[in-house]
């Protein structure tokens, strides 16, 4: 299984969800662009949170500034191009984690969704409950459909009001898998493994 894990926005738990899926599939992990937090990058978090010897493929781009990739790159006098990226070769499953949402700019003219198109990967869309999440979720699903990208699974990260969940689930196709991830107060290897094991049930 190869998946591109994206979200309806920033700070909604993509890396935690990536860790759970990496654990579940015993997969490799790849973060194409890391903006900021180089002292404790998402790849480092995955290694800390997953209990198998996970191989994290090196980022194509790493920037100091914690900002949108196009801004982080510009700060260092660099330009990100979708053509910079090549899907890592591996015989294992591979979880690829994007930055922010689908329309996060890589440059002034190219966006995260175009990277997904280039890599030709099915998508796991992470959703978290907040005022506006229905709008952001349905717009994200519309954008994927418009580009002909497969929404392999919708990840409901945390607790949702019944009314919110109903509207979102009414909008997705029957073939899309629904994954529910409970809230995690303190992230540990043990908790990630326990949640991953429960996905099998």
Q: Which CATH number do you get for residue 27?
A: 3.40.50.300
Annotated binding site for substrate: 35
The number of distinct structural domains making up the chain is 1
**Torsion region of 20: left, alpha or beta (phi above 0 gives left; psi -120 to 50 gives alpha):** alpha
Give the per-residue pLDDT at 200. 65
| Chain-centroid distance, C-alpha 1 | 15
Half-sphere exposure of 126 (CA within 13 A, CB side): 28
**Torsion region of 199: left, alpha or beta (phi above 0 gives left; psi -120 to 50 gives alpha):** alpha
Give the per-residue pLDDT at 11. 87
Rounded CA-CA distance 120/87 in Å is 9
Catalytic machinery residues: 31
Rounded CA-CA distance 151/118 in Å is 16
Rounded CA-CA distance 186/183 in Å is 9
Q: Which two tokens stand for residue 150?
A: 């497969």
Q: What is the largest CA-CA distance in the chain?
A: 49
* pLDDT less than 50: residues of the chain: 201
Q: Which two tokens stand for residue 96?
A: 């690829």
What residue numbers bound the domain in which 152 lies? 2-198
Annotated binding site for Mg(2+): 15, 42, 97
Annotated binding site: 11-16, 35, 42, 97-100
190 exposure class (CB count in 10 Å sphere: 0-12, 13-18, 19+): exposed
């Amino acid at each position: 299984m190869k998946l591109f894990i994206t979200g309806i926005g920033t700070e909604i738990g993509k890396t935690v969800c990536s860790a759970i899926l990496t654990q579940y599939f015993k997969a490799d992990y790849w973060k194409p662009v890391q903006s900021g937090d180089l002292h404790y990058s998402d790849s480092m978090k995955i290694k800390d949170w997953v209990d198998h010897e996970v191989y994290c493929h090196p980022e194509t781009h790493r920037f100091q500034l914690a900002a949108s990739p196009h801004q982080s790159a510009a700060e260092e006098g660099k330009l990100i191009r979708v053509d910079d990226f090549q899907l890592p070769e591996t015989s294992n499953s591979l979880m690829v984690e994007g930055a922010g949402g689908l329309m996060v700019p890589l440059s002034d003219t190219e966006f995260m969704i175009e990277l997904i198109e280039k890599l030709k990967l099915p998508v796991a869309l992470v959703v978290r409950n907040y005022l506006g999440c229905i709008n952001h979720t349905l717009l994200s699903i519309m954008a994927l459909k418009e580009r002909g990208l497969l929404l392999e699974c919708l990840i409901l990260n945390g607790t949702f009001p019944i009314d919110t969940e109903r509207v979102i689930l009414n909008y997705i196709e029957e073939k899309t898998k629904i994954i529910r991830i409970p809230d995690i107060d303190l992230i540990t290897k043990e908790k990630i493994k326990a949640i991953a094991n429960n996905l099998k049930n």
